[in-house]
Structure 1
């Protein structure tokens, strides 16, 4: 395809050829006339020669004109080739459109921009307008009208590529007119500016976002000049200061700053001049109402568009923080008071064992204050082990808490204090965790149990001695008591016919008292045997102990016509078999024994098992118990009923309590009152203590 720059060269060529032909014909005619005239007269011959000369001159001029036209056409062809070469390799999409809307030229860049080839545009001139985005077609229509009027301003519009993608184009267009002033079409250059539009859109979004953040930020933001006059500020800054926008515009930074901060302000300005920023800096502003508001300020030095220096300041209202800090200080003071009043030593360490805080009880426990004073906080707790003042178990407890998150409670360790004394310490180490569960240190609690341990040892020895004494006394007292009973019986037989009623009654009283004393001594012997003279604890079925007790009670149950219901889950327990049998025998036997005459006993025995404990209840419909007297039930020789109504020594429930406590449990009684029946409940662990510690 060649550029049709102008139709003038072809018509000029035809004109020059016509002139040359006419000149040749005139020359031939002149030559013929000259020859004829020469034959007739010399005057006519001269005229013919003149005509021949004029024809030759005309032919020369016509040839010269034709030669120049050829040179112009050749130059124009070279210019066309040069333009085409440049246009074909331009990044922008170029095209020429004639007056009748036909496409004269379309650069190859159109395919990169639109997805359509030059041949498609040339074959379908309307394609140019069809690819314009529908909303932008009125814009382009007005643009072409403006071009026709000589306007050369570029316009941006959108096109729809062949693949459906929408791209932005900047359209530069110039109208072309001929020598006669008539329109010959226009030349257009199109540049793909999609990336620029996208960048501008992103910039606008970012600007809107920044503007929103500036206006809606919870922090006050203000721009001041170097003299402190306010240039810009956001809503939060107005809220902090309490002024309106118009009022603050007439004030400066120094109006809001109390005089007591003058020296601090000088230092902040020096920092601003030296580093280009100041803060964080805490101070107060004086609000419009005269109140002071605590603030934290940060600022940066900037260069304005006018070349002057300005200061951007970020202002945070820290009223709530100051209030929280005051509350925290109060709580810390309260905590310190509580810690210092505790009778136990409390140590808090970080993950490396460095002491973070401690209380005064450590002074009394360790006999030295060096490592509980604040100036020594941060020192490694390993000094305990390094100096040999504490056995390794102490350090292990803290290490286990920090490294493994393990809680160690009530470990008994012996230590040698700084003052040389030896003490027994009840030591506990608990991991200290943050809100996310991560270990951040340990809390170590030391309790001096030296005196308590000594007292417990003495008490234990005293109890052993008392039990041995009670057993020995009870055992030894039975022999003379049996002698007394035997001689009283001999007297009764020997004097059977000689005693009057009063003497016989007195003798019976003596025999009855001796027998009851023997029963009481036997009860004391049974009580003292618990844990000493009974079977050792072992794993056993709790139901077997119950069945054995019911076997012993079978005659009494049958005689009383008692109704017995047994339910629940009966687990395996770690206990003494004969003690458990005696426990059931006493509790169920009491339920059978203590009932109203004419009413058959109804007894419910229920067993329940939880995670690590066993609970048994024995409920009856018997005589009941006055709630105010329940606490007396488990004392030695305690009786709530007269012997004339119910026989007994008053040691049965005391023995039950002794058995339950020997197994690490507890027992209690419940009753709504006399005649309302009663319930006896005991609970004890299923596992032995050493297994509980391991689990």
Structure 2
């Protein structure tokens, strides 16, 4: 005969086998004098073992108890018993260690183990829940809460508790605790989409896009009845007008599981067109992959935007007229400023060349200073003109190849890069963007020049250029191995004439990055930097990606 199964139920036999009050509920009817009994009550299992005090029957019962324990440990939940007076667990199934990571000995020996490892935000609520059980003595209760696992994760648990009352006093709590983390997360995603707006909503299957549920607002928005929508696809009903960004949005949905605030045009049953702001979230319903649609009718808002756009266009026309006058004025002023500067520099240069023998060292030094100051002023005037021109210059944007932009930039800077011994690596291919070719060349020239310039003298400049696509945008990166930029200065450096280092160390007028920022903004883009002192910098510009041929959706 096989050896008797070992069981950690043995340590709790007095608590389990003497619990006679459960015998009636397990269906036993008969004379129980001189017997030992144990019953486990679960939402899905009821086990009652009656043991007569004979050796053979005790062994048989022990075998059955071993099977019961094996069954308990196979259930995908934590089965437990808690002693109210001792404030500790007297039994915990092995699933506790698998789900939460704490050894069973810690559950049974550590005082107030459950309370200690509760999520801090749930502790007060759960203490109140336990006190209510002890006070009100309900037969059963259920609660959801969070616990911190041994490795620091947070799990959502659902607990069904049975209250054991002896002599009108709660002596034990017995329960089943299930891990509902995944269900909670799915529920949170669903309600996040559902409550994002009080708007038209529909659910379709993910594989064939057939609607399986719609709400009244969706029916009202589309003009179709519920019966006309169910088991139909948007394509068959021709709900959507062709959208130029369909392909990119489909990729985003597959990659991220959601699309937020996608502007689309919807064709109603009567043929009228409505502008809608669409959010789509991938969810599961009954284990079936589905899509949740949330539609906000923005037709009236778009009409108001059109009115504002017309007013803006009229204003921009006036601005362009004034800009032409401003450009003429700026060039006139620059000419008037440059004329005396050129004279100043020219006479100082003549003094050095023609009267050097009559000037002592101090006089010659003054002449050189005058020449340098005049040249510096000329650089400032040119920089101001470049910066100012970006404000009123009329730009026509279109599809621009970043490959061509980078190639033109490298050609312009070939002599400078060779002189500095710089290594520039371009990660090809580079995508196309919506922008202005000449302006982008000017921007990349400034970024590459800065990358090479701000490199310590003890190392060769190394620059890497690459691009990445992100949600309809393209981000071009320029990474260097230079001196880096402290975090507190990373916004200031894009302002005109901001310098972090003396000109003797790194010459320049301090307007290059300001031109980069202004130029990128003129193309409806963004600019930024990631950097740490002595660890180099990563400058980036972000522009709209060039669109492929429109695809219907």
Which range, TM-score by smaller chain?
0.3 to 0.5
Whose helix proportion is higher, 1 or 2?
Answer: 1
TM-score (norm 2): 0.45
Greater RCO (CA < 8 Å, at least 6 residues apart): 2
TM-score (norm 1): 0.37
Larger radius of gyration between Structure 1 and Structure 2: 1
